[in-house]
């Protein structure tokens, strides 16, 4: 057992941090959490540590893009200074600081943060952005790629709910607020609206929050297929995909997702999900029509069941945390 201090955003019930925290506890670790934007968090860690933190063996950190001038006494400059002091103190004490994040960092307007923020100066940085080894290496960042997962507690089958029933569902950002750099998302939404308007439901509905928890389990139980997408599909970028893959499959949904180099090592077309080449709208349309045909009812269930089994065995956060601990041991951090 390791005594872990986890810094992150624990306010949303279904945040990555809360799901990872549950996995750490399930794996037998001792856990303390500190809310990242609490003005006391980094000021405490930059000063003499209280007795409650004396047993900390690992600091795990998931960054959120807070407005530090709003949340932190002394503003952004003070927050950054305290974070750097925390990293230095932890290093002097022999306590590894590990960053864990599901986002992609290169190729978006925010990539300057990699150069600017203390978060990227941790001893080990683990992200789902696995297609930029050269860029991480140039900066001397000890980066390791891990694909996203799902909380084991969330990987449950829901109940059919008339509110969610449709042939096709798209769950995610679809109303124009997605990264402008990802042209595929905008074309995908337009294609579905134009060609399957009466059969495809988009979630969340305008003005409503994201669908999470049990409602999301019920949603995937109530639709025949879910259409997925990830940032930069079709660009040739390898080893980055959205957590919608394990989040959908783990809840028993049948997912159609565009091909991503590297994805085939973990998921298999026609076995545990379905894939198409990004921007090939004609092929996607044919695939949708074929898989929705009545004679493929059994095939849909078979693929969905195999996808869920794959995720439960290999792609839960409980598994990811086991992999992270093995990595830290291999690197001599534990």
User: Per residue in 39-77, pLDDT tens?
Assistant: 899 999 999 999 989 999 999 999 999 999 999 988 999
155 in any annotated domain: no
223 in any annotated domain: yes
247 in any annotated domain: yes
CATH number at residue 88: 3.40.50.2000
- Tell whether the model's pLDDT for residue 180 goes beyond 80: no
Number of domains in the chain: 2
Predicted local confidence at residue 313, as pLDDT: 98
The answer on 171 and 96 residing in a single domain is no
Q: Work out the average pLDDT over 178-196.
A: 85
The answer on 82 and 32 residing in a single domain is yes
Is-contact 230 258, C-beta < 8 A?
A: yes
159 in any annotated domain: no
Kindly report the number of other CB atoms within 10 A of residue 217's CB atom.
Answer: 22
Report how far residue 274's alpha carbon sits from residue 253's, in angstroms, rounded to the nearest whole number: 11
The answer on 189 and 96 residing in a single domain is no
Q: Mapping DSSP to helix (H, G, I), strand (E, B) and coil, where does residue 203 land?
A: strand
Lowest mean pLDDT among 43-47, 60-64, 172-176, 292-296: 172-176
Beta strands in 135-199 (DSSP E): 143-145, 166-171
The answer on 179 and 103 residing in a single domain is no
Report how far residue 300's alpha carbon sits from residue 239's, in angstroms, rounded to the nearest whole number: 26
The confidence band for 2, taking pLDDT boundaries of 50, 70 and 90, is: very high
- Tell whether the model's pLDDT for residue 173 goes beyond 80: no
235-246 confidence digits (pLDDT tens): 999 999 999 999
Question: Exposed e or buried b for every residue in 183-195, given b needs 16+ CB within 10 A?
Answer: ebbeebbebbeee
Q: What percent of the chain has pLDDT over 90?
A: 90
pTM (2 d.p.): 0.94
- Tell whether the model's pLDDT for residue 30 goes beyond 70: yes
The confidence band for 174, taking pLDDT boundaries of 50, 70 and 90, is: low
DSSP-derived letter for residue 316 is B
Q: Work out the average pLDDT over 134-147.
A: 97
Is-contact 254 225, C-beta < 8 A?
A: yes
The confidence band for 209, taking pLDDT boundaries of 50, 70 and 90, is: confident
The answer on 310 and 321 residing in a single domain is no
28 in any annotated domain: yes
Question: Who contacts 29 (Cβ-Cβ below 8 Å, separation ≥6)?
Answer: 1, 2, 3, 4, 321
The helix-helix angle for 317-330 and 16-26 (nearest 10°) equals: 70
- Tell whether the model's pLDDT for residue 163 goes beyond 60: yes
41 in any annotated domain: yes
Q: Work out the average pLDDT over 214-218.
A: 96
From residue 137, how far is each of 67, 141, 142, 227, 331 by CA, in Å? 29, 6, 8, 34, 16
157 in any annotated domain: no
The answer on 55 and 25 residing in a single domain is yes
The answer on 137 and 33 residing in a single domain is yes
Predicted local confidence at residue 177, as pLDDT: 62
The answer on 223 and 120 residing in a single domain is no
From residue 23, how far is each of 17, 273, 288 by CA, in Å? 10, 25, 35
Lowest mean pLDDT among 51-55, 59-63, 132-136, 251-255: 51-55
The answer on 228 and 320 residing in a single domain is no
User: If you count them, how many residues does the chain have?
Assistant: 334
The answer on 81 and 195 residing in a single domain is no
The confidence band for 98, taking pLDDT boundaries of 50, 70 and 90, is: very high
Residue whose C-alpha is closest to residue 253's, from 147, 164, 162: 164
Q: Mapping DSSP to helix (H, G, I), strand (E, B) and coil, where does residue 161 land?
A: coil
The answer on 322 and 288 residing in a single domain is no
Predicted local confidence at residue 291, as pLDDT: 97
Residue 48, domain extent: 3-149+316-330
Is-contact 226 256, C-beta < 8 A?
A: yes
């Amino acid at each position: 057992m390791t005594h872990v201090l986890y810094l992150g955003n624990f306010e949303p019930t279904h945040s990555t941090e809360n799901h990872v925290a549950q996995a750490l506890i399930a794996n037998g670790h001792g856990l303390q959490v500190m809310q990242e934007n609490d003005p006391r968090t980094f000021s405490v860690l930059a000063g003499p540590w209280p007795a409650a933190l004396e047993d900390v063996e690992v600091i795990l950190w998931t960054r959120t893009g807070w407005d530090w001038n709003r949340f932190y006494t002394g503003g952004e400059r003070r927050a950054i200074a305290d974070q750097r002091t925390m990293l230095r103190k932890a290093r002097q004490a022999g306590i590894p600081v590990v960053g864990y994040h599901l986002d992609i960092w290169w190729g978006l307007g925010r990539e300057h943060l990699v150069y600017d923020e203390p978060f990227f100066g941790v001893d080990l940085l683990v992200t789902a952005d696995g297609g930029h080894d050269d860029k991480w290496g140039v900066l001397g960042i000890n980066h390791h790629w891990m694909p996203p997962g799902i909380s084991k507690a969330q990987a449950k089958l829901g109940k059919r709910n008339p509110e969610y029933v449709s042939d096709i569902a798209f769950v995610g950002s679809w109303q124009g607020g997605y990264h402008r750099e990802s042209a595929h998302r905008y074309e995908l939404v337009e294609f579905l609206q134009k060609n399957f308007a009466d059969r495809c439901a988009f979630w969340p509905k305008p003005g409503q929050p994201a669908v999470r928890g049990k409602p999301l389990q019920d949603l995937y139980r109530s639709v025949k297929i879910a259409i997925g997408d990830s940032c930069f599909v079709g660009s040739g970028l390898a080893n980055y995909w959205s957590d919608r893959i394990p989040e959908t499959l783990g809840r028993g949904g049948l997912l159609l997702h565009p091909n991503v180099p590297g994805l085939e090592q973990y998921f298999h077309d026609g076995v545990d999900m379905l894939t198409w080449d990004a921007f090939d709208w004609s092929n996607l349309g044919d695939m949708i029509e074929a898989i929705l045909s009545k004679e493929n009812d059994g095939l849909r269930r078979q693929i969905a069941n195999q996808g869920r089994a794959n995720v439960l065995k290999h792609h839960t956060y409980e598994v990811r945390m086991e992999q992270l601990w093995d990595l830290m041991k291999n690197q001599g951090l534990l």
